[in-house]
Amino acid sequence: MLVKVDIKKYKHVIWDWNGTLLDDVFLCADIMNGILGKRNLPAITIDYYKSIFTFPVKDYYAKTGLDFEKETFDKLGLEFIVEYERRKTECTLYPGALDVLKKINELNIEQSILSAYSQHTLEEIVKYFKLDKFFIGLVGLDNVYAAGKMENGKKWIKELNHPDGSVLFIGDTLHDFEVANEIGADCIMISAGHQTKKTLETCGVPVFDNLNDLFAKIEGDL
């Protein structure tokens, strides 16, 4: 499929964080395997992880075999996030992330992050990677349970107050596409993250294997 990315038509780009700019898929799968192992449940591969990951995250937990009749999702979710926070700096930005952010910035297009990550930790890690200069806003959740970001997306698009067709959402999950669709933003998917390319292609929007491919396409179409 011939894909054109006319980035110059947009006034604002909304980015997802985890799995789109931040390469944390390996860490999420590894932590889940630790949780499963403690409960004598079989480990999952990264490929299987990507095939079952979904929002709300509670549904993904259930697919791993965790039993909410034995332990609450809140307890399991907290166990995950405590370990994630302890190890989060093991993660790196995806190759090409800085190139894409710089290019969009050079084109004087606003950028922000809309994430299911908790607000204060989102702010901390974006600052850790020295990316805060690229974004006019960082929008996260007020809790650690990653239920979704639909409501925050609706509020954020109202605050941005840009005309229809002038906002682009870049993410790595079906939930990102659903949010983009709900708030009236165009959408691009990156399949290096938390869901498979096959899954993302069901959205009917451009799907790139990685940010380097997206950067090359933007450069080529300018």
Local confidence band at 1 (pLDDT 50, 70, 90 cut-offs):
very low
Which tens digits make up the pLDDT trace of 114-147? 998 889 999 999 999 999 999 999 999 876 554 5
Q: Which helix (H) or strand (E) holds 213?
A: helix 211-221
Which tens digits make up the pLDDT trace of 83-104? 999 999 999 999 999 999 999 9
Residue 100 pLDDT: 97
Which tens digits make up the pLDDT trace of 24-62? 999 999 999 999 999 999 999 999 999 999 988 899 999
**CATH architecture classification, 9-23+92-221:** 3-Layer(aba) Sandwich (3.40)
Strands 207-208 and 167-171, by their bridges, are unpaired
Among candidates 115, 92, 94, which has minimal Cα distance to 214?
Answer: 94
Where helices occur in 149-210 by DSSP H, the ranges are: 150-160, 174-183, 197-200
Strands 167-171 and 12-15, by their bridges, are parallel
Local confidence band at 72 (pLDDT 50, 70, 90 cut-offs):
very high
**Domain limits of the chain?**
9-23+92-221, 25-90
Tell me the whole-structure pTM to 2 decimals.
0.94
Residue 117 pLDDT: 86
Q: How far apart are CA 66 and CA 19, in angstroms?
A: 23
Residue 147 pLDDT: 54
Local confidence band at 221 (pLDDT 50, 70, 90 cut-offs):
confident
